Amino acid sequence: MSASPSPPAIRVDAEVRANQEEGAENRRLRLGVPGWPGSAPGQFAMLSPGSRGAAERYDPLLPRPMAVYRTVPEAGGAELEILYKLSGRGTRLLADARPGATVRVVGPLGVGFPLPQLGQRALLVGGGTGIASLYELAAAAQARGPVVVLLGARSAADLMGRADFVALGVDLRVATEDGSEGTPGRVTELLETALAAPDAGGEIVYACGPTPMMRRAAEIAARRECRCLVSLENRMACGFGVCLGCAVPRTEGGFALVCRDGPVLDAGSVRWEEAS
């Protein structure tokens, strides 16, 4: 099954409803987005780097691509939840946005995840902020078969969205590099264990996180002959296929655009050694 077709993107000023801490360096932004046409699991939006104040500001200049973590349809639009990490000037300015402030949104953008086949077990691997791409997928995949979510972070304080996945009722397994929660080590080791289980075979693997993590997940999945999809997080200026800044080299030659051909790509189609 391929990803569902996407409605055309809109550009709209959204209202900040909440912007809360979610662990040490992470935030959860809730936006009221008028006219949001809905989005498929794995799609993203471009958010202005901080709120749009009394006057137009051009430094930082570019919007930031953010996974749509969760959407709740409402009259005349939707509420969007975005989970993000404070990683630079843009996200720090975004973290300053208070309820009532305006954030510009362009979306929904990109091609999301193809869903598992009926009855197929899905393994979702999220590292760090990568988990933000996987919540809606987990919810949609649950309607088709068993779902295992593997969450990884440096430490317990960096984990995002944990309670939401617990509430979904998926099989949730956690790994932290410092061992402060769950299994000590990397999330890809959880994947290796899950795929080595005696009842394993025929799974579909979805991975989103740092490039080395996705590359490793892709290798593990390939060894078990499982299809693996990754959601890439490249730098981009526009989000809709014109700046060509987010190009990622393909194994077959040439480039895929993360914004237009992705962000979800077949792991085997990415030339990982040149991907960042």
Partner 1 sequence: MTVAVDTEVNLGGITLRNPVLTASGTFGYGSEFAPFFALDRIGGIVAKSLTLEPRSGNLPPRIAETPAGMLNAIGLENVGVDAFLAEKLPLLPEGLPVLASVFETDIDRYAEVCKRLSGAPKLAGLEINASCPHVKSGGIEFGQRVELLARLVRETRRASSLPLFIKLSPNVTDIREMARACEAEGADGISLINTLQALDVDLATRRPALRNGLGGLSGPAIRPVALRMVWQASQAVKIPVCGIGGIMTGEDAVKFLVCGATAVQVGTANYLNPMAAVEVADGIERYAAAHGFARVSELVGTLRPYASSR
Catalog residues that contact partner 1 under the rule CB under 8 A: 8-11, 48, 56, 58-63, 104, 106, 234-238, 240-249, 253-255, 274-276
C-beta of 256: minimal distance to partner 1 in Å? 11
If the CB atoms of residues 8 and 100 are measured against partner 1, the closer one turns out to be 8
Look at residue 254 and give its three-state secondary structure. Answer: coil
SS (HEC) of 26-79: EEEEEEEEECCCCCCCCCEEEECCCCCCCCCCCCCCCCEEEECCEEEEECCEEE
Shortest distance, position 57 Cβ to partner 1, whole Å: 9
Q: Which of 239, 225, 231, 236 is nearest to 266 (CA)?
A: 231
Beta sheet of 26-34, edge-to-edge order: 64-67, 44-47, 102-109, 10-21, 26-34, 77-85, 70-74
Q: How far lies 109's CA from each of 68, 238, 240, in Å?
A: 10, 10, 7
Smallest gap from Cβ 176 to partner 1, in A, equals 24
In whole angstroms, the minimum distance from the beta carbon of 72 to partner 1 comes to: 23
| SS3 label, residue 12 | strand
223 or 235: whose CB is closer to partner 1?
235
Residue closer to partner 1 by CB (options 16, 232) is: 232
**Closer of 48 and 231 to partner 1 (Cβ):** 48
> Which amino acid would we find at residue 189?
E
Q: Centre a 10 Å sphere on the Cβ of residue 145 and count the other Cβ atoms it contains.
A: 16
Report yes or no: 229 and 266 within 8 Å, Cβ to Cβ.
Answer: yes
Cβ closest to partner 1, residue 145 vs residue 245:
245
Least distance (Å) between residue 190 CB and partner 1: 28
Query: Taking the complex as a whole, how short is the minimal distance between the CB of residue 83 and partner 1, in angstroms?
Result: 22
Residue 9 or 160 with smaller CB distance to partner 1: 9
196/242 with CB nearer partner 1: 242
Cis peptide before 65 (omega within 30 of 0): no
The two tokens of residue 75 are 């009259």
Q: Please report how close the Cβ of residue 241 comes to partner 1 at its closest, in angstroms.
A: 5
